[in-house]
Copies of this chain bind each other. A is one copy, B any other.
Amino acid sequence: MSESLFMKLTEEPVKEIDRLIIEQIKSPIELLNQACYHLITAGGKRIRPRLMTLITGLISPKDIYNENILSLAAAVEILHTATLMHDDVIDEGLMRRGIPSTNSAFGNKVAVLGGDYLFTKAYNATIKTTDARISRTFSDALTTLVQGELTQMSNTANLEVTEESYFKTIYSKTSVLFEITTKIPGLVLNCSDAEIESLAKYGRNIGYAFQIADDILDYTSDSSVLGKNIGRDIEEKKITLPLIYTIHNRQGISPETVYAAINGNDIDAIIRLINETGAISECDRVADRLIKEAIEAISIFNDSEYRQALGELAYASYKRKY
């Protein structure tokens, strides 16, 4: 992926955004710096900052280093990091980005307070813009994110999850943050409402594809790739798209057969059923449609290398192996 156009176009701006992240979260409390830098410098792919840079280039290449946008890109990444920190407390996650999670390295106290601290720092950056639409967009997104986590918790052990409620959950969990990432440059650069909605749609769909890819990896990768155990979702009865398509298949396999495998935590049987029903291919088809719609949405902007890179990124969001 390192030679792709979207990595090349975003390399320098992301360095600047990384500098701003470190600057914005710096605290007089050494323990807080250690805990926050631990996770934030652990080499995430900075997919959201890259996306914000490319969208800015799509709208107006001369604004790639617009200070407001760079600062808000840092804020989105800080917000994302805050949610990861609290997620790991909640899920008792031990590893993150190949290193010990904040809670396992510094304890739950520091991880809870560290996440709170990062939330306040993300807000600080949005308040600085003095554009109430942007603070509001951020604040609403965070409300949606938190509600999404709780919806997912409430849905655990509910085998009757539909495709529709799955998409609603992953909207809250993942898409909403991609959506504000792609909307914000449109707000800062005063795009029309129609343009902002197109940018939002691009981000939303990329978020869906990204999350579906993640949910597929639970059934197709080995644990060393993701640093989490295969089958954990099944143990928790977390029903994601591959399982939904396995349950509602067109091969005449009864839902009860699939439920029995899930309820019995029979991972081998589940993997076999996923393969027999072609559920992964069905996920591929849906993701492909979402990606094409995303690319179509931004075709109202002039063609440019940024638009090409966003096309590439759209496909890469689903093919990712990290």
Contacts and interface: CB of A to CB of B under 8 A. Distances in A.
A117 B115 CA distance: 13
A121 B143 contact: yes
A197 to B, nearest CB: 22
What copy number does this chain have within its complex?
2
A143 to B, nearest CB: 5
A112 interface: yes
Nearest to A89: B112
A133 B150 CA distance: 32
A105 to B, nearest CB: 15
Contacts of A27: 147
B123 A139 contact: yes
A272 to B, nearest CB: 32
A29 B145 CA distance: 12
A109 interface: yes
B127 A146 contact: no
A90 interface: yes
A192 interface: no
A32 B150 contact: yes
B146 A135 contact: no
A154 B115 CA distance: 17
Contacts of A124: 136, 139-140, 143
A119 B119 contact: yes
Nearest to A143: B120
A88 B121 CA distance: 23
A150 B107 CA distance: 12
Interface in A99-155: 108-110, 112-113, 115-117, 119-121, 123-124, 127, 130, 132, 135-136, 139-140, 142-143, 146-147, 149-151, 153-154
Nearest to A28: B147
A169 to B, nearest CB: 11
Nearest to A140: B124
B108 A150 contact: no
Nearest to A151: B29
A150 B113 contact: yes
30 contacts: A29-B147, A29-B154, A30-B154, A31-B150, A31-B153, A32-B146, A86-B112, A89-B108, A89-B112, A90-B109, A90-B113, A112-B112, A113-B146, A113-B149, A115-B116, A116-B119, A116-B142, A117-B143, A117-B147, A117-B150, A119-B119, A120-B142, A121-B143, A123-B123, A124-B136, A124-B139, A124-B143, A127-B132, A127-B135, A130-B132
Closest 5 CB pairs of A and B: A117-B146, A90-B109, A120-B142, A127-B135, A120-B143
Interface of A: 27-32, 86, 89-90, 108-110, 112-113, 115-117, 119-121, 123-124, 127, 130, 132, 135-136, 139-140, 142-143, 146-147, 149-151, 153-154
Given A30-B154, A90-B109, A117-B146, 17 more contacts: A27-B147, A28-B147, A29-B147, A29-B150, A31-B153, A32-B146, A90-B113, A110-B150, A113-B146, A116-B116, A116-B146, A117-B150, A120-B142, A123-B123, A123-B139, A124-B140, A135-B135
